[in-house]
Chain A
């Protein structure tokens, strides 16, 4: 087991609307095995992005534990220090957010290369790798040196996806990484996951498309209204019954 999500809750307290509280996640528990591909599904607003953000600690869980077996031992991502989170992110944990929060005026190739050179790779080698990944994702070469802020949704999504997989993290979180892609580009992206990432990579990914889930997932986590509804093997997953 690489990840143990243990009764995790996240409640948002919105001071600017009279302290209203919004449940993002409530008592969610499941585990993920080494090398497994877990798909997270559920209706809009069911808590899928909140779950991924809690694992990455972009959201601070309100309760529970998220035990990640890193190469250096167990780290509870829900409760460890900010510095421990940064160390884990820098080496073993990757995340592609649902919406690319692009840095203004950094060319696409550098957006993708940056996590690699921050981990010590030579800058030019990192750029070369970035170009290879963007090429594999069918991004037109003339966009490599342009700013993602001017890109279409699907082009941005490919940059975001390439950036997350580039450093080959042991645990990869993907939030609807292919939602804005046409079927052909989506196929390239899924193929790249297979070809580029070592087989030992563990992935927790949010997907909307049943065919994609069918193609990539070993197990499916179904969320409903901030709660875990079910965890099933892909063979037993029937979206008609469960959704």
Chain B
């Protein structure tokens, strides 16, 4: 089943002149329009995501990964494009205020690149997760507490820390709380933006492994954005490679890693090995 079908997704920051997309991209070597100065964060992105599938998005800093992720999580307005989500009638990018909140609360879970965008650090970890349940209409205190506890267990955060302020948590725990929050309402789609930045290598591996276990058990369609090829290798079935705001290559993750076709992908893979 197709969970998400994205076509021509485009984000331009600034007052676009109409030629911005033609004036930018890998062939030009820049994402900034020389005519009007707008930044084309991403343009003409197309892909489909099926249930249970993990799609990786890899590219250098500034290639447009977060802009893409945030549009799909409905945290950022798209300049153009169409995104069909299986449980929503029409283009979810043009959902009205109320529909958008319903989608965000119940259908699309997001783990933000910057922890402060996803968590209220002065609140308790339990409170952060409970907030998401409340937004989806949970009302009974005991039920909420039970659900939060079970999410802490699933994401391997000590339940004993539930009532402590999130700012007192380690980076790895904060990341886990973000994941707990993202999956709290059994979403059909989860978007992870750089899920391991700022974490120690050993913590990174455990967070990713935990997530991958959950992902497979719940069969949730996932988009994982990272500039780190190891993260992509570990999680993604298929991968999109981005550069200067465009998708330049798409394929099975192991094929992208071992038989990269595009010149830039070859450079990217070889610069790591």
Contacts and interface: CB of A to CB of B under 8 A. Distances in A.
A140 B206 CA distance: 24
B202 interface: yes
A12 B238 CA distance: 21
Interface stretch (B69-77, B155-163, B250-258): B250-258
Given A85-B252, A117-B216, A59 B259 contact: yes
A141 interface: no
Contacts of A101: 233
Contacts of B267: 16
Interface string B210-223: 00000010000000
B206 to A, nearest CB: 7
Interface string B258-273: 1101110011001000
A82 interface: yes
B101 interface: no
16 contacts: A12-B259, A13-B261, A15-B266, A16-B270, A58-B252, A58-B254, A59-B255, A60-B251, A60-B259, A83-B50, A83-B238, A103-B205, A104-B234, A105-B209, A106-B209, A110-B209
Contacts of B201: 104-105
B252 A82 contact: yes
B251 A82 contact: yes
B270 A57 contact: no
Top 6 closest pairs, chain A to chain B, by CB: A15-B263, A105-B205, A59-B259, A58-B254, A82-B252, A16-B266
Contacts of B60: none
A104 B263 contact: no
Interface string A75-118: 00000001101100000000000000101111000100000011
Contacts of B120: none
Given A82-B238, A83-B50, A104 B258 contact: no
B234 to A, nearest CB: 5
Nearest to B230: A104
Interface in A38-67: 53, 57-60
A118 B216 CA distance: 7
Given A86-B237, A103-B234, A117-B216, A14 B255 contact: no
Contacts of B233: 101, 103
B235 to A, nearest CB: 10
A118 B252 CA distance: 17
Contacts of B254: 58
A57 B258 CA distance: 10
Contacts of B238: 82-83, 86
Tell me the dominant secondary structure on chain A's binding face: mixed
Interface in B219-257: 230, 233-234, 237-238, 251-252, 254-255
Interface string A163-179: 00000000000000000
B74 to A, nearest CB: 26
A105 B206 contact: yes
Contacts of A16: 263, 266-267, 270
B252 A57 contact: yes
Given A60-B251, A82-B251, A86-B237, A14 B266 contact: yes
A53 B258 CA distance: 9
Contacts of A82: 238, 251-252, 255
Which of B201, B254, B267 has the most chain A CB atoms inside 10 A of its CB?
B254
B203 to A, nearest CB: 10
A57 B255 contact: yes
A88 to B, nearest CB: 12
A100 to B, nearest CB: 13
Given A14-B266, A60-B255, 16 more contacts: A16-B266, A16-B270, A53-B259, A58-B254, A58-B255, A58-B259, A82-B255, A83-B238, A86-B53, A86-B238, A103-B233, A103-B234, A104-B205, A105-B202, A105-B205, A105-B209
